[in-house]
Structure 1
Amino acid sequence: MITTTTESSLISAAELHNALQQRQVLLIDVREPNEYNNAHIPGALLCPLANVQELEPPCSSDTRVVLYCESGRRSQMAYEILARRGFQNLKNLEGGIQRWKQMGYAVRGAANAPLSIMRQVQITAGSLILTGVILGFTVNAGFFFLSGFVGLGMLFAGLSGRCLLAQLLMRLPFNRPKGK
């Protein structure tokens, strides 16, 4: 059974803001740790989408659980996983943290944080592929292998859930948390 987004499964940023002020919600961020460190809604707990299956339901079935991610797609997937597992009183933040920020609500995180790792991966992979194609047409056809190699790496990342380029980029000094 696939759960689809319905009005009853969504919560607006304004509704969530009110619930947080009244401390009536358990808020879970399903993004990756680097995204959470860059900006998150105050009071949110981190549980990346890959780990959502391991979440235990709250002690009280009256506790409202709200999930969010960047735009609402990953949190919808988390919603479907938890709904199948029998979680009660479950909501998905409509529009994710993007909508939360658009509404002017506060976020916590690193000041002047770098681009998210996924954006860095997209920029780096896209640049390498484009460079391989341009050099393949203008210098030597052997440069097409660069584009193929990067494409193979992206395929591996999609199939395995492990992006070697992202792991490499996370080791760069500007992506490390201060003090490490």
Structure 2
Amino acid sequence: MAASLTAEQLEPRLGQFTVIDVRSPGEYAGGHIPGAHNIPLDKLQRALPDLRAAAERGELAVVCASGARSQTACSQLAAAGIPAFTVVGGTAAWAQGGRPLDRPAGARAVWAMDRQVRLAAGSLVILGMLVDLALPGARWVSAAVGAGLVFSALSNTCAMGNLLGKLPYNRPRTGTADLDDILGNLRK
């Protein structure tokens, strides 16, 4: 289990940490901890050399929407020998405490990934049950979605979240830096 920080502990020391936000670019653009660098979880392996260099200069704090993806990221970083703290409760806890969120100019808010997953999974389950009325056996689509959700919970991974993160609305074209720019900033 990775070391953790609460939003209350991070706030007074924010300038002492390199904050890495592992949410999708769309979620990040919707509001992030001031100064956070967006490195989506699915791009973390590519960023390891730069994150290692940043960790040598100071401490890393990893954040997501609620804490699950940041915990996964911290596990990956630990496996690579890079120490990092996970921010308990993520940006939701940060914002609930009345702390400011930065938003790039012109960026629109995007639902948090867990909310997108719940909508997609629920829709697929209902669709599978309805289609089963006309095509018997289609309910197995619903069963597959349920099995995927159970696996997601047990493994603390989310294939559906990874797929949804690749959709255009989760990858805004304006208002966010690309990964190469972010990694360049970490090297400085």
Determine if the TM-score, normalized by the shorter chain, exceeds 0.5: yes
Match in the other structure for 2:44: 52
2:4 paired residue number: 10
5 Å-filtered alignment, 1:64-83, equals 64-83=59-78
How far did residue 40 of structure 1 move?
A: 0.8
Which of the two has greater helix per residue? Answer: 2
Pair 1:145-2:141 in alignment: no
Runs of 4 or more, structure 1, over 6 Å off, are none
RMSD: 3.5
Identity, % of aligned positions? 31
Distance 2:25 2:37 in 1: 11
Structure-2 separation of matches of 1:85 and 1:119? 30
Higher relative contact order (CA 8 A, sep 6+): 2
User: Are the aligned partners of 2:23 and 2:65 in contact in 1 as well (CA < 8 Å)?
Assistant: yes
Confirm or deny that 1:92 pairs with 2:86: yes
Q: Cα gap change, 1:77/1:41 in structure 2, threshold over 3 Å: closer, same or farther?
A: same
Residue 34 (structure 1) shift: 1.3
- Going from structure 1 to structure 2, the CA distance change for 1:105 and 1:127 (only over 3 Å counts) comes to same
SS of the aligned residue for 1:107 comes to coil
In structure 2, relative to structure 1, the CA distance for the partners of 1:147 and 1:36 (3 Å cut) is farther
Using the TM superposition, give the Cα deviation of residue 145 of structure 1 relative to its aligned residue in structure 2, in angstroms: 3.1
- 1:113 maps to what in 2? 109
Shift of 1:69: 0.8
Q: 2:38 aligned with 1:63, yes or no?
A: no
- The runs of 5 or more residues in structure 1 that have no matched partner are none
Mapped partners of 1:68, 1:11: distance in 2: 10
* Corresponding residue SS for 1:53: helix
TM normalised by structure 2 equals 0.67
Q: Deviations over 1:85-135 (max 9, x none)?
A: 2224x2111111111111111112367624245534532442243144135
- Please say if residues 27 and 110 of structure 2, whose CA atoms lie closer than 8 Å, have aligned partners that are also in contact: no
SS at match of 1:26: strand
Separation in structure 1 between the aligned mates of residue 173 and residue 54 of structure 2, nearest angstrom: 36
TM-score, length basis structure 1: 0.69
Query: What SS class does the counterpart of residue 45 from structure 2 fall into?
Result: helix
Equivalenced residue count is 161
Distance 1:161 1:124 in 2: 10
Distance of aligned partners of 1:159 and 1:73 in 2 relative to their CA distance in 1, 3 Å threshold:
closer
Q: Aligned pair in 2 of structure 1 residues 87, 171: CA closer, same or farther (>3 Å)?
A: closer
Q: Distance in 1 between matches of 2:8 and 2:29?
A: 23
CA distance in structure 2 between the partners assigned to 1:179 and 1:25 by the alignment: 26
Alpha-carbon contact 2:129-2:142 (below 8 Å) kept: no
Larger Rg: 1
d(CA) in 2 for partners of 1:80 and 1:126? 29
- Opposite residue 59 of structure 2, the aligned amino acid is R
- Structure 1 CA distance, aligned partners of 2:22 and 2:138? 36
1:129 matched residue in structure 2: 125
